[in-house]
C-alpha cells in the first residue's frame, strides 16, 4: 500500500469471478459519492455483455463507470495501454474526488495501475517465429506443456487456455533462458496517490455455488444468442474466454449443449482458483467476507457523513 501524506486514494476492490465485486463497488461508491473504474478486461468490449457479467444498464446509471464497453472486439487493446489510459483519467478524476474505486477480476490490469508494467526484454523475430511454430504444430497443449515445464510459478496463475499469454511467456523464456516470472513483480512505479486494496473472500463451496448460479442466470438472460452473434469473430483474442469458447465448441458440433454448460461452470471455477492464487501473492490486500450481510464494511474508508447507510435499492 502506498504511504505518506498523499491526499488522494485509489480504492481497489478485487476478488474471484462471481464474488460480488460490482455490487460491493457500487455500494461503496454511493457512500463515498465517487466513481468506478473497471478492471475486468473482458468487460472492455461493447459486444460482450452477458457472458462477461458486465454491469447492467441500471448499475451503470447508479454510479458512473469508466472502461466498460469502451472498445470493440475488433480493436487490439493491451495492459500497457490500459495503464496509461487509467493514469491519465485518474489525474482528472482526482480533481473532483478524493477517492476513486478500481474494481475487477483481471489481476494483471489492477497490478499495472498500482505498480506499473514490468520491463520485458525485446523479442527477436526468430524467437517469435519459434514460438508461433510450436503453437501451429502442437496446438494449445504444446504451449501449455512448455510453460508448465519452464515456468511452473507462472503456470499456476496464468489463464492456461489463453494461447497469447502462454506464447508471450515462452518468448521470454526462450529469448533469455530465464523464467517469465523473474521479469515480473520486481519494482513498483511511483504513484502520486494512496492505494488501499480489498479482496472479497468466500468459502470455496459457497463461491462455487455462486458461479454455477451465475452461469444459469447468464443462459436465461440470452448468453446463447450473444454467443451466436459473436461466433463469426471467434478467432479474435477477446473471445478466447470462458463462457464463449465452450458455446463455440457446441456450435461446431464438438459437444452437446449440456456438456458445454458444464464445461463453462468447470472452467469458471478453475479461473476463480487462479484469481485467488494471484491475489494471495499480494500481501497488501485486506480480505473481506461479503457473506456477512448486504452491507459490507470497508476498514480504513470513511464514507461521507450523510452516506453512512447502505442502500439495497
Q: What is the 3-state secondary structure (H, E, C) of the chain?
A: CCCCCCCCEEEEEECCCCCCHHHHHHHHHHHHCCCEEECCHHHHECCCCCCCCCCCHHHHHHCCEECCCCECCCCCCCHHHHHHHHHHHHHHHHHHCCEEEEECCCHHHHHHHHHCCCCCCCCCHHHHHHHHHHHHHHHHHHHHHHHHHHCHHHHCCCCCCCHHHHHHHHHHHHHHCCCCHHHCCCCCCCCCCEEEEEEECCCHHHHHHHHHHHHHHHHHHCHHHHHHHHHHHCCCHHHCCCCCHHHHHHHCCCCCHHHHHHHHHHHHHHHHHHHHHHHHCCCCEEEECHHHCCCCCCCCCCCCCCCCCCCCC
- Using pLDDT thresholds of 50, 70 and 90, give the confidence band for residue 19: very high
**Residue-averaged pLDDT of the chain:** 90
Predicted confidence (pLDDT) per residue in 211-229, tens digit: 999 999 999 999 999 999 9
Query: What percent of the chain lies above the pLDDT cut of 70?
Result: 92
Stated pTM of the model: 0.81
79-83, 114-118, 255-259: least confident range: 114-118
Pick from 161, 171, 119: which is nearest to 274 by CA? Answer: 161
pLDDT at residue 305, as a whole number:
42
Predicted confidence (pLDDT) per residue in 132-173, tens digit: 989 999 999 999 999 999 999 899 988 888 888 899 899 999
pLDDT at residue 296, as a whole number:
81
In this prediction, residues 174-185 reach a mean pLDDT of 83
pLDDT at residue 229, as a whole number:
98
CA distance 263 to 247: 9
Predicted confidence (pLDDT) per residue in 229-258, tens digit: 999 999 898 998 999 999 999 999 999 999
Predicted confidence (pLDDT) per residue in 23-66, tens digit: 999 999 999 999 999 999 999 999 999 999 999 999 999 999 99
Ordered by where they begin, the domains of the chain are: 9-118+186-203+276-292 (3.40.50.300), 125-183 (1.10.20.140)
Q: Which residue has the higher pLDDT, 189 or 96?
A: 96
Reply yes or no on whether the pLDDT at 4 is more than 50: no
Reply yes or no on whether the pLDDT at 266 is more than 60: yes
pLDDT at residue 12, as a whole number:
98
Reply yes or no on whether the pLDDT at 308 is more than 60: no
pLDDT at residue 183, as a whole number:
78
Amino acid at each position: 500500500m502506498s504511504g505518506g501524506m498523499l491526499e488522494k486514494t485509489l480504492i481497489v476492490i478485487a476478488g474471484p469471478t462471481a464474488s460480488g465485486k460490482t455490487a460491493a463497488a457500487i455500494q461503496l461508491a454511493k457512500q463515498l459519492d465517487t466513481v468506478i473504474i473497471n478492471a475486468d478486461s473482458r468487460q472492455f468490449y461493447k459486444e460482450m455483455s452477458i457472458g462477461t457479467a458486465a454491469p447492467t444498464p441500471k448499475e451503470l446509471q447508479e454510479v458512473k463507470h469508466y472502461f466498460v464497453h469502451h472498445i470493440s472486439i475488433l480493436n487490439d487493446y493491451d495492459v500497457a495501454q490500459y495503464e496509461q489510459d487509467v493514469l491519465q483519467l485518474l489525474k482528472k478524476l482526482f480533481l473532483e474526488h478524493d477517492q476513486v474505486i478500481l474494481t475487477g477480476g483481471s489481476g494483471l490490469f489492477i497490478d499495472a495501475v498500482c505498480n506499473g508494467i514490468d520491463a520485458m526484454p525485446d523479442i527477436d523475430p526468430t524467437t517469435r517465429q519459434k514460438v508461433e511454430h510450436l503453437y501451429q504444430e502442437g496446438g494449445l497443449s504444446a504451449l501449455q506443456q512448455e510453460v508448465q515445464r519452464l515456468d511452473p510459478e507462472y503456470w499456476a496463475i496464468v489463464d492456461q487456455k489463453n494461447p497469447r499469454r502462454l506464447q508471450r511467456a515462452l518468448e521470454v523464456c526462450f529469448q533469455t533462458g530465464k523464467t517469465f516470472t523473474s521479469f515480473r513483480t520486481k519494482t513498483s512505479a511511483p504513484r502520486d496517490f494512496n492505494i488501499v486494496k480489498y479482496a472479497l473472500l468466500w468459502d470455496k463451496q459457497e463461491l462455487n455455488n455462486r458461479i454455477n448460479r451465475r452461469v444459469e442466470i447468464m443462459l436465461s438472460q440470452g448468453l446463447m444468442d450473444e454467443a451466436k452473434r459473436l461466433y463469426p469473430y471467434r478467432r479474435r483474442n477477446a473471445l478466447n474466454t470462458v463462457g464463449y469458447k465452450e458455446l463455440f465448441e457446441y456450435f461446431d458440433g464438438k459437444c452437446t449443449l449440456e456438456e458445454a454448460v458444464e464445461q463453462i461452470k468447470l472452467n469458471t471455477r478453475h479461473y476463480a482458483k487462479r484469481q485467488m492464487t494471484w491475489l494471495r501473492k499480494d500481501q497488501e490486500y485486506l480480505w473481506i467476507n461479503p457473506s456477512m450481510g448486504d452491507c459490507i464494511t470497508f476498514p480504513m474508508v470513511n464514507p461521507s457523513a450523510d452516506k453512512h447507510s447502505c442502500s439495497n435499492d
